[in-house]
Structure 1
């Protein structure tokens, strides 16, 4: 589990959680999540959607979930994140036009 504090303007960037399922609860403030909807064909264009989560909101997600969590507000926020199985890998992405490009692949114990 990770307890994360978010200053206004902080974000994670687009990333996945390897083979872990996950969930987060917003404890204080409001967080925004941008998600990437998969392309209908490999390498095809993707769509994005954004949702806000106020204090008390819970967000669960499965495998292959790519998102960017951010504090777009003007006050700090706090959230608690849980993963199962243990979070051991994350891939970072950037959106170029309507296509995802891998920026890095990070492993627990090596990169963080």
Structure 2
């Protein structure tokens, strides 16, 4: 199994003139600070809810509600760069500080020291590059969280992963029509 140590590049510019990760971060922070937008999202106590938003410069954006104890599981964004910000509540992001190859593998052994964890509260956000693998969790036992996400180019697919210790395995590839 390859040993992955390449650092991520979270502020990569849009390669074809689209918005950069930093511009997407500005958009998600501004959107997360819009009380009318955040209030427009119906919240479900049992599962995540979402509304698709018009993103800047042809990007794809989402407003997402997270009931207590929910999360995404490990995934990537199909080569798109992006950003997200917490609008209310608190989210925990667990990520890998390594740029993973997007094709040609099903199992990787991760090097020591690639795991990162950060907590994002009201208004805090982060940008990431095109090879970012992470999971986002609402670890609260009683508080809903709401966040805004944006990606460029619009997500061509998402890969879902399982993780056992240092071993990361591709489990599924989802297409955009599965998310609407």
TM-score scaled by structure 1? 0.89
When the two chains are superposed, the root-mean-square deviation of aligned CA atoms in Å is 1.9
- How many aligned positions are there? 110
Alignment partner, residue 93 of structure 1 = 161
Bigger helix fraction: 2
Separation in 2, partners of 1:23, 1:37:
16
Alignment partner, residue 67 of structure 2 = 7
SS at match of 1:23: strand
Q: Which of the pair has the greater relative contact order for Cα pairs under 8 Å at 6+ separation?
A: 1
Bigger strand fraction: 1
Alignment partner, residue 45 of structure 1 = 110
Larger Rg: 2
Match of 2:123 among 37, 56, 75: 56
Separation in 2, partners of 1:54, 1:96:
28
Unaligned runs of 5+ in 1: none
Match of 1:22 among 33, 57, 82: 82
Unaligned runs of 5+ in 2: 1-60, 100-104
Query: What are the Cα deviations for residues 63-110 of structure 1, in whole angstroms up to 9, with x where unaligned?
Result: 11000001011311100001111112000001122110011011112x
